Amino acid sequence: MRNFQHIVLCIILGSYAVSGLQAATIDATMNGDRRAAETALATGDPSLSIRLAQTILKMNANDYQALLIVSLASTQLGQHQAAATAARKAFHATSDGGQKFQAARITGAAYFNASQFTRAEWWLRRAANYAQSEIDLTLAKQEFNQIRQRNPLSVNLSFSVTPSNNINGGSEDEFFSLDEYVFQFRPDARALSGIEYSGDVDLTYRISQSPIQITSVGTYLFGRTYSLSSASQATVPDVSGSDYSLTLAEASVKHRRFLIEGFGPTGVSAHVGQIWYGGDPLWRYQRLALSQDFVVDQKSSATISTFVEKQDALDGIQPDTKVYDLQGVYAHRLPNQDVMKVSLGYRYNDADQETYTFKDYRTSLTYNFEQPILNSRFSVSISGGHKRFDQFSLALDGRRDKYVSVGATAILERISYWGFSPSISVSATKTNSSVSRFSNTQFQSKFGIRSNF
């Protein structure tokens, strides 16, 4: 990590030695002071370099080269806050993309040296936004990742907008039968079209780390709400999209450690959280999770994970529930560097009321293309499963659901701003249920933002 602390300084000093910090038009006195400041900086007299640069800044407070000299000299003196301030001013003093890239990197390095890692990461994202070549972009990513390894705080943000033909999981049919009786669905139990808006914030803080273990605490917030289409709103004028909104807040403690020689890390985590639906508390939960990673060979890996979750109902309608989940994932890198991932899962929902108790068997296949397609990172997936209710309130012989989903995601990496790129996902899900209320088809097109780093 010491190398990173000096990498920007060495590169910039080298460029100065070659270019001499040339400017299109400069006053002769300022030019002489600038050359003297460069010489003092290169020969190890940062204090003199700063005094000479400040003489220039008194005549032109936005002199880009003088501000960078102050920043680099302040770094040599260990004055990292002053270095960051000067480099930040240099960034705002120029409109040239290459100069902005250079100044943003120096600002990030200064904040890194000041142990302000999150601010350093943010400035490396800004640098990436002004990268002049693939080499520049790769360099910014590498430096960002080096900072992230040292930063105990990890922040992940996402946001998406998803048009859907069925935001409420409603039925496509107007009527359903129970034995010889036929009933009509309420309008709000029919499929309603609209737009989903969702976003989440995942904060993780590393409290302990060694070559064999890592321990962290985290907070996760998720929110989702909807707006109804005009046709659906006309069908259910008294219903609002926010009636289907969902909010989740969770706190967790996670620990991963190498326990078994030749295996990957073993993980254990504890989670507590609460879910709100339509603005009202739905349930509170506690979860204990375990996982074990395996290195199959140089191109393959596998993970087995399980969790037990206790859900305490808060709305007076839903029952208290215990959830038991088991999943296995196998990933393999193909000779063309594409990655194929297969998963198998089983879940048992053990509710206090039989009609909410079910078993769910699921599987999925995901294929990630290594080479860009149409300048986009591309992946496709297919999943399916079978859900079984031995007893169900709307059927005399229980309920059986079969479902299948196909989807594709493209990350438009050529469009990037501060290291974030837009993503487009399309999916179609078909559910066939022995209880017609739960047979439906859902089409979604999700537009989101993802990090490239």
| Tens digits of residue pLDDT in 266-325 | 999 999 999 999 999 999 999 999 999 999 999 999 999 999 999 999 988 889 999 999
Q: What local confidence, expressed as pLDDT, does residue 153 receive?
A: 95
Domain with CATH 1.25.40.10 in the chain: 2-150
Tokens 């393959």 correspond to: 300
Tens of pLDDT, residue by residue over 77-119, are 999 999 999 999 999 999 999 999 999 999 999 999 999 999 9
Average pLDDT of the segment spanning 124-132: 92
In contact, 423 and 448? CB cutoff 8 Å = yes
pLDDT at 183 over 90: no
pLDDT attached to residue 41: 84
Q: What is the pLDDT of residue 437?
A: 81
Q: Which residues contact 349 (CB under 8 A, 6 or more apart)?
A: 321, 323, 356, 357, 358, 359, 360
| Continuous H helices in 22-133 | 28-42, 46-59, 64-76, 80-93, 97-113, 117-129
Look at residue 195 and tell me whether its pLDDT is greater than 70: yes
45 three-class SS: coil
Q: Is the pLDDT of residue 16 over 70?
A: no
Name the phi and psi angles at 167, rounded to 5.
-75, -20
d(CA 67, CA 34): 11
Start-end of H helices in 151-280: 230-235
d(CA 412, CA 182): 49
* C-alpha to C-alpha distance for 151 and 57, rounded to whole angstroms: 34
Q: What confidence tens digit (pLDDT) does each residue in 41-65 have?
A: 888 889 999 998 999 899 899 999 9
What pLDDT does 10 receive? 45
What is the spatial distance between Cα 20 and Cα 35, in angstroms, rounded to a whole number?
7
Reported as a pLDDT band with limits 50, 70 and 90, residue 29 is: low
pLDDT over 60 at 167, yes or no:
yes
CA separation, residue 125 to residues 28, 75, 326 (Å):
37, 21, 38
CATH T-level fold of 2-150: 1.25.40
The fraction of the chain above a pLDDT of 90, given in percent, is 72
The pair of three-digit structure tokens given for residue 105, joined into one six-digit string: 């990197």
> What token pair was written down for 355?
């009609």
Confidence (pLDDT) at 4: 45
Q: Distance of alpha carbon 18 from its chain centroid, rounded?
A: 41
pLDDT confidence of residue 171: 79
Q: Which of 342, 304, 345, 303 is nearest to 323 (CA)?
A: 345
pLDDT at 68 over 60: yes
d(CA 362, CA 348): 12
* Per-residue pLDDT tens over the stretch 395-433: 878 999 999 999 999 999 888 888 888 999 999 999 999
* Closest among 418, 443, 349 to 144, alpha carbons compared: 418
Mean pLDDT, the chain, integer = 89
Does residue 182 surpass a pLDDT of 60? yes
Which pairs with CB-CB distance under 8 Å and at least 24 residues apart come from 308-314? Answer: 309/285, 310/285, 310/286, 311/283, 311/284, 311/285, 312/283, 312/284, 312/285, 313/282, 313/283, 314/274, 314/281, 314/282, 314/283, 314/284
- The fold of 153-451 is Porin (2.40.160)
According to the model, what pLDDT value does residue 63 have? 92
Q: Report the SS3 class of residue 199.
A: strand
pTM assigned to the model: 0.84
Locus of tokens 């979860």: 287
| pLDDT-derived band at 30, boundaries 50, 70, 90 | low
Neighbours of 267 (CB within 10 A): 17
Closest Cα partner for 245 from 315, 192, 198, 200?
198
Which pLDDT value is given to residue 264? 93
CA 350 to chain CA centroid, Å, is 32
What count of Cα atoms within 13 Å lies in the side-chain half-sphere of residue 124?
A: 28
The answer to whether residues 30 and 56 touch, using CB atoms and an 8 Å cutoff, is yes
Place of tokens 């109902």: 313
Q: What is the pLDDT of residue 185?
A: 75
The CATH 2.40.160 domain(s) of the chain lie at 153-451
